[in-house]
Amino acid sequence: MTGLFYKELRLNRTALIISAVIPFLMMLLFVLLDLLPVLLMNGSDAVIAEWKEITGRTGETGTSFNMMQIMPVVCAPMCSGLMQIQMFTVDETKKWGCFTASHPKGICTAVYYKYVIIFLTSVLSMVSCEVAQSLYWLTDHIILGTKADDMAGTGLSLVFMLLVFFQMFCRMIDIPFIVRFGSKKGGAVKAGIIGALFLAFFVYFLFGPLPESVDVIALKLDEFLTKLQSGKLPAGFYAGLAAFLWVTIFGTYFSYKISCKLYMKGVEQYDK
């Protein structure tokens, strides 16, 4: 049944490639839109000032929102998550569903490799963020001469790993709905949940206390991620984080079992 895994790799190679290159594209975007025009028009001295701006070295308190670090962290899981949802659309035909079910272990194996390829997508995104972070450090050293010891405390490796678990947590909820109702109906259920959350946030923004500006939100996010990475948050937070990781691990297993049980009911709903 390894042919099913090869099939998943072939059908989803575009999603894997996109997940792997998004962090690099984000860095390239900053270089092309921020640094290159400054270098061509104003020279290397202006590049240093611009680099300090986008890496958060010009805030009133000494640091501000580090766009070069945070934007790949935000964009990479969003893009890979969208790719993961699309992985089920290629198999939504009754002929393929019945063919899969004809083998004694066909359903379990097909669903299992879906989970594997989705996890692989998340891991690729994480590794890509790690490599992009190393390139950021290298660029920072070239432009500002920052030493390795000063860079060691600015990494977001823990955040990258947690994003993988967060994606798997989302998928362990998504996949049974998609398997049972199809990507369209399952997506509609998900859209309803997201819409309800959006409505709740909208009501909060209308009547709840708001920060002074978007920069304040960005700065707080940057500070939170830095404290998270350096272990400076309350011990209870890390205990809850550990519980979340175990819930995700066991929840993904039960999600897989539920998806196997619901597979044929979903096949009966397919249009063709």
Averaged over 18-34, what is the pLDDT? 78
Backbone angles phi, psi at 64, to 5 degrees: -145, -165
pTM over 0.75: yes
Tens-digit pLDDT profile for residues 128-185? 888 888 888 887 788 777 776 666 666 677 888 888 888 888 888 888 888 887 766 6
Averaged over 242-265, what is the pLDDT? 90
More confident residue, 193 or 207: 193
Q: Which long-range contacts (CB under 8 A, 24 or more apart) does 24-31 make?
A: 24/128, 24/131, 24/132, 24/135, 26/71, 26/72, 26/75, 26/76, 26/132, 27/68, 27/72, 27/132, 27/135, 27/136, 30/54, 30/67, 30/68, 30/71
Q: What is the DSSP letter of 86?
A: G
